[in-house]
Amino acid sequence: MRASAAQMVFDPELALEALIDDRHPEKMATAAWAREELVDPDLAGRDERSEFWREGWERCAAHGIQGSILPVELGGQGLDLVTAMLRFEGLGLGCDDGGLVFGLSGQIWTMQMALDRFGSDEQRRAVLPGLASGRTIAAFAMSEPESGSDAMALTTRAYRIDGVKAWVTLAPVCDTIMVFATLDPQLGRWGVTAFLVDADAPGVEIQPNRKKMGLRTTPFADVVFRSCEVPESARIGAEGAGGSIFSAAMETERAFLLAGSIGRLERQTTEAVDYANHRRQFGQPIGAFQGVSHQIADMKLAHETARLLLYKAVALQARDTPSMMAAALAKLAASGSLAGVRIHGARGYVSEFGVERAVRDTMGGVIYGGSSDIQRNIVARLLGLPA
């Protein structure tokens, strides 16, 4: 295992600046770029059709988003974690397409970071430059239809891979899949092994995109493996190391995947303040009513709490120190709020103003990367309560 390029460069002074300056220039520059370059007049239509925006993905790659944390020699920019987080905050703040931001976050903070840390030099050279350039897309396949929160309860068998992976983000548009299979289900987590598999390899069947409540512009699908033979060179790490690779990826994902969501939460809060100042009822702005102002105060509390915990997790990761507690708390703080709809009233409920789409996208946070109940279990266990 190696440290990622992002972890090898860490400036504590920059981390402190990011922590206290919620209008950091790096973040605001990315937000401004997103408002200018990631405008899609057909976003509502694509959301309705659950359609991926390939052009937006390629624009992000040209701007360096996909290459943010990858080493320069592999086509990346070698940015430190703090700068990368600021970029993704800005992306969430400035981009209307929450599904696009989620898809980018999933590939970068789960798939790319795991492959950069645990893959062989040959695997990294073969896959990561294409991901950085946006020419190719990768998916991360762990969950199975019956495994749920018991992530290590796999039935998909290794080397001659047979089984089904469920809820695979970006599967319908991906070129490469990091798939977790077991040498023997009786071994539990000690049998779990990770592999790189081409999406068009014999025996790989990607199912149609699944319709869902939110994040519709990032496609999800099941992937069926039928006697898909993979060579030993496709294995990532040692046999049985997949459980550790997956756990490390989830620790990273729980915190860093939320940077875009935290930017979106800031945007929702700002929009709620603006609306509450301009919408009048009973002769005064609705922001004058405590029922409204307290909801907005709670939105700001959630945003600030999640943001502080995010940068704490970044600092811990950069020091190769466990960040599980901070990551779990950050995810809980940023996951799912209906306040935006409640404050906007009927305008928040109908589709034409985009408020309900943003809320639908946000609600996915109570599930992906481990449900909110799982995050509470993690916090309780780390506090010393019985497992």
Task: Name the residues annotated as catalytic.
Answer: 253
The Cα diameter of the chain in Å comes to: 72
The two tokens of residue 148 are 């749920």
Residues pairing with 163 in the sheet: 225
Task: With beta carbons less than 8 A apart as the criterion, state whether 109 and 117 touch.
Answer: no
Distance CA 127, CA 78 (A): 16
Burial of 162 (0-12, 13-18, 19+ CB in 10 A): middle
Query: What three-state secondary structure class fits 149?
Result: coil
What DSSP assignment string belongs to 95-137?
A: -S-HHHHHHHHHIIIIIIHHHHHHS-HHHHHHHHHHHHHTS--
364 residue type, one letter? G
Task: With beta carbons less than 8 A apart as the criterion, state whether 60 and 292 touch.
Answer: no
The two tokens of residue 287 are 């922001």
Distance CA 180, CA 242 (A): 7
Strand duo 220-229 + 160-169: pairing: antiparallel
Q: Kindly compute the dihedral angle of the four CA atoms of residues 244, 245, 247, 251, in this order, to the nearest 10 degrees.
A: 140
